[in-house]
Structure 1
Amino acid sequence: MATLAPRPHALLALGRPRPRTLRTRAAAPRARGPTVPPQVARPRRVFLGLGAAFVDQLARMDSGSAPSRSFVAAARPRQGVSPVEQILKNVEWPDEFPFKAEDFSRFDESSDNLFYSAPRYVTHIDDQAIGALTKYYSEVLPPSNTPGVAILDMCSSWVSHYPPGYKQEKIVGMGMNEDELKRNPVLTEYVVQDLNVNPKLPFEDNTFDVITNVVSVDYLTKPIDVFKEMRRILKPTGLAIMSFSNRCFWTKAISIWTSTGDADHAWIVGAYFHYAGDFDPPEAVDISPNPGRTDPMYVVQSRKRTA
């Protein structure tokens, strides 16, 4: 349920690497479901490539507050510092969730069950990006075979990109294609569920130490509902790790994602954590292995508050 094709819109002026042609290990099968013809596709909010500063200003306009500093200057990267890592520092969130219902529309509103009915045994980011994510997991996940640890890999598939040989007593995969989940060797169990139809997670409160989501947060049409459920099922201080690149099935990604860029995406995911409530201030991390020459890789993460 991760990404294949680069976004079709223009690059932002925040120094994003130029989209590359994705190399996969096998050709992904075409979706079986009918696509929405352009003439009946839902309207999209186009941000015209203005980038993270514009998203921040949009949030302030929606909340009725006046900006107290220059967001253009804030979004301009300091020497050697990723704009993605800067965008969630010292955020002044508006009082209300700043996005509209149309921001979560998609070009193809046909059934996701049809779209994901055929297994895709491919990797949707290149080997360098996968390596960077695996290395990051090795630094932040609980050590392998830690007693009592439970992990949920949300929007999972046939591979989770955890460190080689990584094991826990309970690693649950939640995804859309049962054949893919059956093939994932790290999982101890799995659940097939469409979160865009039913965002209610079938787990008890305070179940998981960590929730991961690899290059699939951009497909959630009910993100606040999902993030509230994530908060519910995480143990106190439990960690949620949302990772993404600049690839997507753009017909299935939400409008707010396909019309914005990498730093904007970090701001959007950070907003999900903030407005879900009871998460620590979200942190953005740029783990891109070779900027401009390989697929980029970013993480936005937060911990559930203890109180």
Structure 2
Amino acid sequence: MSENWTERNIPSQRGRVAVVTGANTGLGYETARALAEHGATVVMAVRDVEKGKQAANRIAGDVTVQELDLSSLDSVRAAAATLHVTHPRIDLLINNAGVMYTPKLTTRDGFELQFGTNHLGHFALTGLLLDLILPVPGARVVTVSSTGHRIQAAIHFDDLQWERSYSRAGAYGQSKLANLMFTYELQRRLAARGTTPIAVAAHPGTANTELARNTPAWLRLPLGLLAPLLTQPPAMGALPTLRAATGPEVLGAQYYGPDGRAEARGYPRLVASSPASHDTDVQRRLWSVSETLTGVTFPV
């Protein structure tokens, strides 16, 4: 294997089924494209079906589109039910979709939008699809986090939905910290069960995508001007996710990100997450709270 891991290192994915959330643009699109080009049957799970179809038409391979709005538990349940009918197995679940730095808004179920979409939506989707993943040798659940998980030193259980005060960055950081804690707790449960699937996390560094569209207006112009120096293209940002999803050397509970300074740019390698993300007591508490909020319990 070359020192710099690229799409050329992706093994054949022929015969594998991959579900990628948020796949109509940015990192999700590049992830779906690369997997399809390497032979996978790809389901692009997206909120806007028409945009999803347009994106799918640009990809060479076996690609379908599934409606999925992670800010609605009804939509998550409907998508999972459809996938049970259309696909008897899932080899890769890529929890990629997300929102960042949004104004204070709530999901259809009343959750703070970033926590509800980035964490609770993916938590529920994974739990509802896990029976299609558990029997599959070599299956993986890959959840996309962010260096932004370091913004929050803890999960604020006393005000989980940011009802008393709201910080765009703080709420985003909490959702990304939750992504990592979910991954580590899921891996522990899978390992205890003795099943072959693994749970892995990744982050894209600073990728130039639409995710930053909710950045405060006063920051958009300077960030736009500096983007070529500070960010990397979506195809590069997707590489840590692709390595986590396909690298034969990958182990459960590992975390992949860019190898450059501050993990902002570069080729994918193993990276470390914050000490807070490894607090097993908090991981278990978050899992229990997430099951209660979503009404989804896992078969592990």
Same fold (TM over 0.5): no
More helix by percentage: 2
Band the TM-score falls in, shorter-chain normalisation: 0.3 to 0.5
Normalised by the length of structure 2, the TM-score is: 0.41
Greater relative contact order: 1 or 2 (C-alpha under 8 angstroms, separation 6 or more)?
1
Structure index of larger Rg = 1
